[in-house]
Structure 1
């Protein structure tokens, strides 16, 4: 019925014929005659009543004079406070959380906008960049400006070779994932276990547990070359690493020999480490490293010989550590290191003797660790857990079977589950794995080979594909690898 009605052409002769014509004639009493009759043609005509009007296109109402519109967008990946945005070099807007933002000063139609970053967040592990930042206001608010905060791209890489007392230094190609030895490819240092780099890529710290020292270096910005600092070493009993606070203001060193963690202040100009003056905090038996939460509010240490994890609050002003209300939680047997996922919600510990990974959720307000009900089984002798930069996959190296295995991370619970076809072969004795900041490339450090195996990471599945030879060459007894921005 609708189709029949809509398809009939309603012409002027329809409106002005028969009964309808009579009604119109009666209404127009000022006319002297209507004339005509029936359904034929005739003399009825109304010069001021045209035929059926032509279809018209609706138009958008004009904005009222003086109308203004806001400029805004969204922020993602941000940790901490201190980020300040500007529009047109003014209208400062402080941002302290992810989500939408709107500048206070509206703009009129035809005015330009240009959103820039005036100050980065205090958390230096993330660098924020703006996209869709410029344009001209039309007849609506601007809502599509994007501020994305992410780990900065790597330019250099350093490998600690424990057996031959050398640091291997490379230039890193973030596009291809290739490593090229620097002009000075090896730096002599005493039995290094790890290299830590400050968050701006200016200083490096080499931990040597066998000699009880931390050696400090400056990094040449253009070449990545290491040179000894003015105060080359500090004494620490049994240091396996230097772990830097996300603001870059403090560093923490665990003493595996004395079962304590000491807080240090970082000199922003020289990189020199000096004790803050706060009393060292006790740990469990044999802490190897300190894991600092991405927000900089909490810290944790896995304790190798007491099979537990110690948890601490961090004083934002002084950097001092204090035990949490729940100071320890259990781990498996011989836990090496604790790894925190990039979102700061989950933590993982590889347990070498029980061949599994302990999993924890992290309370966002208190930092307290809550163990998941079960562990996840691994291959024999797992040593490290590495989480990809987007927090979707985790990788576990197992030394006794020369493999690295991929696990998917449940976004709600943090639980790990094996990835299909997620196991890849490595060289002999894989101790640790490192992913570059983009998450596209993975590198496995092995104790018993000078070949540095590298892999392409499948962004959707998390699987690893071994790159073709030739492999980058490192020293003897390599144990850890670190990237520098």
Structure 2
């Protein structure tokens, strides 16, 4: 652990010693109140140390990119991937573990209440995720169901699950699951199915799961009110063998989607048929600059709020690749930016599209970048914070004002 990292987190340990409530690592505000333009940043982590099981809260100044620490909270074991309801009342976190409360081949999903005055988190309850190493969670657009991807299910590989959101915001036990099936791809990392994401389409008619192990995107017809789904008889999309599809994201216009392929370091532009719940490949491009030949794997993908630019993260190259999006949904590379750390697992844009935050998992830091809305290009702000094994960044408007 680098000295700067240790010093920074001794600060949080001091908060822990002063904590006065169950479930919280700390509740004292450590940054002064800022302007209403500030935003809140919740960071999920995965580390085995005194900071284990922690979600950190920071306040972001979107003008400067500075992050000011607020506090740290218990988030369940290994709270890596996060999602928040639209009313900012509850945060949901997967526990990316191989067993949960004595149950083998299962991780967990935690519900945390959000204090509307401070942003503080209180752990309310947990449910098994129905598979091991859950690595993604989203909410359907009605907010009635949590959608979870489990990287490992059992010996047969990864699966996906739907957990209903109850009136008090807590999650009920899973009401729908689907075990992904072989055949798997040719890559050494494709020994079994590996569900890596699960999210609804813009109309909330379908949910889609990208599976790294089988090179497929699976579709589910949603019935949000009844907390169930119907698995589509054939995959919504088949990627190239060995591509390892990981994350899917939709364009704001709903006509296009983009698939980040982990194992061959590519991104695929897709035309979306919203009636059938299927995708058609428009184009597949490398996320790497010409001449780069070292090991790399793609992690995350996002479209900017204005729909003009796409961003992907490269682990190994340790960069954000920036693409322009044409009117027909196709991509053109425009920039490759160093993340100033190692292994950018996840990154996020704020709602305005002014700031991009990168979580560098293996260098224990989060860096911020200004986004040029006209060109899409990123410029480092010179601002960063040290966080133990940051895995996910959730950026929301400061609802405490």
Q: Which of 252, 256, 272 does residue 147 from structure 2 map onto?
A: 252
1:417 aligned residue? 332
Deviation of 1:325 after TM superposition, in Å, equals 5.7
* Aligned CA distance change for structure 1 residues 188 and 271 (closer, same or farther; 3 Å): closer
Is 2:130 the partner of 1:236? yes
- Partners of 2:150 and 2:45 lie apart in 1 by 20
- Please report the TM-score for the alignment, with normalisation by the length of structure 2: 0.75
Is 2:358 the partner of 1:444? yes
- Could you give the per-residue CA deviations for residues 375-421 of structure 1, whole angstroms, max 9, x where no partner exists? 11112322111111121111111111111111011222x111101xx
* Aligned CA distance change for structure 1 residues 154 and 187 (closer, same or farther; 3 Å): farther
- Partners of 1:467 and 1:233 lie apart in 2 by 39
- Partners of 1:262 and 1:188 lie apart in 2 by 20
Is 2:90 the partner of 1:203? yes
Q: Which of 172, 194, 199 does residue 274 from structure 1 map onto?
A: 172
* Aligned CA distance change for structure 1 residues 154 and 204 (closer, same or farther; 3 Å): farther
Is 2:355 the partner of 1:461? no
- Could you give the per-residue CA deviations for residues 144-166 of structure 1, whole angstroms, max 9, x where no partner exists? xxxxxxxxx88321111212432
Q: Is the 8 A contact 2:139 2:146 kept in 1?
A: yes
Matched ranges for 1:74-89 at <5 A: none
Q: Is the 8 A contact 2:249 2:302 kept in 1?
A: yes
1:305 aligned residue? 213
- Partners of 1:450 and 1:316 lie apart in 2 by 38
1:347 aligned residue? 257
* Aligned CA distance change for structure 1 residues 365 and 404 (closer, same or farther; 3 Å): same
Structure 1 residue runs without a partner (length 5+): 1-152
Q: Is the 8 A contact 1:254 1:288 kept in 2?
A: yes
Matched ranges for 1:53-92 at <5 A: none
Q: Which of 321, 324, 331 does residue 232 from structure 2 map onto?
A: 324
Is 2:247 the partner of 1:360? no
Is 2:258 the partner of 1:369? no
Deviation of 1:432 after TM superposition, in Å, equals 1.9
Q: Which of 378, 391, 394 does residue 479 from structure 1 map onto?
A: 391
Deviation of 1:336 after TM superposition, in Å, equals 1.5
Deviation of 1:276 after TM superposition, in Å, equals 6.5
Deviation of 1:234 after TM superposition, in Å, equals 3.7
Q: Which of 58, 73, 77 does residue 170 from structure 1 map onto?
A: 58
Q: Which of 186, 202, 207 does residue 294 from structure 1 map onto?
A: 202
* Aligned CA distance change for structure 1 residues 154 and 351 (closer, same or farther; 3 Å): farther
Q: Is the 8 A contact 1:395 1:433 kept in 2?
A: no
- Partners of 1:233 and 1:280 lie apart in 2 by 14
* Aligned CA distance change for structure 1 residues 264 and 154 (closer, same or farther; 3 Å): farther
Deviation of 1:353 after TM superposition, in Å, equals 1.9
Q: Is the 8 A contact 1:154 1:436 kept in 2?
A: no
Is 2:317 the partner of 1:401? yes
Aligned residue for 1:484, secondary structure, equals: strand
2:299 aligned residue? 383
Kindly tell me the number of residue pairs found equivalent between the two proteins: 323
Aligned residue for 2:363, secondary structure, equals: coil
Deviation of 1:299 after TM superposition, in Å, equals 1.0
Structure with the larger RCO, 1 or 2 (CA within 8 Å, 6+ apart)? 2
Aligned residue for 1:396, secondary structure, equals: strand
Is 2:67 the partner of 1:179? yes
Aligned residue for 1:443, secondary structure, equals: strand
1:334 aligned residue? 244
1:135 aligned residue? none
Q: Please give the root-mean-square deviation of Cα atoms over the aligned residues, in Å.
A: 2.1
- Partners of 1:316 and 1:206 lie apart in 2 by 20
Is 2:75 the partner of 1:161? no
Q: Is the 8 A contact 1:291 1:340 kept in 2?
A: no
Q: Is the 8 A contact 2:255 2:272 kept in 1?
A: yes
- Partners of 2:96 and 2:56 lie apart in 1 by 18
Aligned residue for 1:260, secondary structure, equals: strand
- Please report the TM-score for the alignment, with normalisation by the length of structure 1: 0.63
* Aligned CA distance change for structure 1 residues 196 and 159 (closer, same or farther; 3 Å): same
- Partners of 2:127 and 2:151 lie apart in 1 by 18
Larger Rg: 1
- Could you give the per-residue CA deviations for residues 297-339 of structure 1, whole angstroms, max 9, x where no partner exists? 1111110111111112212532422233643421242222112
2:11 aligned residue? none
- Partners of 1:396 and 1:253 lie apart in 2 by 22
* Aligned CA distance change for structure 1 residues 297 and 154 (closer, same or farther; 3 Å): farther
